[in-house]
Structure 1
Amino acid sequence: MFGGISPIQLVIVLVIVILIFGTKKLRNMGKDIGGAVKGFKDGMKDPDEDQSEKSEEEKQLLQKKEEADADFTDSKQKDKSSGDS
């Protein structure tokens, strides 16, 4: 069936692997591999279709950063002017 490996041999190998690693570790490895595959698939998507979403989010983040920078600069100037008096 699988190049001369019978299903019974596969079951025996699976039982040995479970005994060595344990089910919890195998489950965690499965999650890690699944996350890596998902990340790879997301990376392979066409960047043009996600560009509009990203650019809108980037615009909002940039606007918030500029507002925070302006507030910080204003408060710094107020502190400086109140210290000169």
Structure 2
Amino acid sequence: MGIFDWKHWIVILIVVVLVFGTKKLKGLGADVGESIKGFRKAMNDDERPTEEPKASTTPLEQPHTIDAQAHKVEEPARKD
């Protein structure tokens, strides 16, 4: 019997479920799954040769610029 026997893993699993809850663990599992799928897709896309973009016959639009000014906002004094 090592330090991490199957009984220890059961206790750790119960503590994790009690601390985080099943909804949060389900959401975490879904997020990890989506991340792995995205990673695999990116790896497969890198292996394929990229096609050169076709020349467009329509003229490109000029980029738009945003004119804005920054203002300093004074925060009210904190009352402790």
- With normalisation by structure 2, the TM-score equals 0.56
Instruction: Give the unaligned 5+ runs of structure 1.
Output: 70-85
Q: Which has the larger radius of gyration?
A: 1
Percent of aligned positions with the same letter in both sequences? 34
TM-aligned CA deviation for residue 51 of structure 1: 5.2
TM-aligned CA deviation for residue 48 of structure 1: 6.2
Q: How many aligned residue pairs are there?
A: 60
Which structure dedicates a bigger proportion of its chain to helix?
A: 1
- With normalisation by structure 1, the TM-score equals 0.53
Which position in structure 1 is the counterpart of 2:5?
A: 6
Task: Give RMSD over aligned pairs.
Answer: 2.9
Instruction: Give the unaligned 5+ runs of structure 2.
Output: 62-80
TM-aligned CA deviation for residue 49 of structure 1: 4.6
Mark the CA change 1:37 to 1:27 in structure 2 (over 3 Å): closer, same or farther.
same
State the 4+ residue runs in structure 1 displaced beyond 6 angstroms.
Answer: none
